[in-house]
Amino acid sequence: MKAIDAQAAHETRATAPVDTQWQEFDAPRDVLVLVAEVMLVLGAAPDVAREAARTGRILLGSQRLLLACSPDEFALIVGALLDPGWAASPERRLHLLKANAQLLLTAGVSFAAGPSGPQLLCRWDLEPRKPVALAHWLRNFAALAADMQAVRAA
């Protein structure tokens, strides 16, 4: 996975073709093209954009993001992976799960402990199609997760 320097990002409306032969990210083709386009808006090289659309994995700065389509395919579900220490004990997991109401009300995110480890989850409605807005939103979501990681580490 290649990192993207979000500070050096340039905006473009070009879309990279998506090769679905080895597809890991289960999403309709228009969503795969949207992800590739968003990565180009974020300043990724075309090969990195195609890889993000193929795998559903993005690295913005130091923050890892995982993408999934909602079951009805109307939304993109984005997970920001957190350090395993966030959920290292049942007490910590319970505390974070109790904090979900506050997280949802203040930031529109929720905490989950899943097979990929602890993560923040959020959703983006796919209609109307707004690749530039989605790119900015992903950058902000990654920054929120990174800030939360930094506060915990301090």
In this predicted structure, the answer to whether residue 16 has a pLDDT above a threshold of 50 is: no
The answer to whether residues 59 and 43 touch, using CB atoms and an 8 Å cutoff, is: no
> pLDDT by residue (tens digit) across 107-135?
999 999 878 889 999 999 999 999 999 99
To the question of pTM greater than 0.85 for the whole model, the response is no
Residue 3 CB burial class (10 angstroms; 0-12, 13-18, ≥19): middle
> pLDDT by residue (tens digit) across 39-66?
999 999 999 999 999 999 999 999 999 9
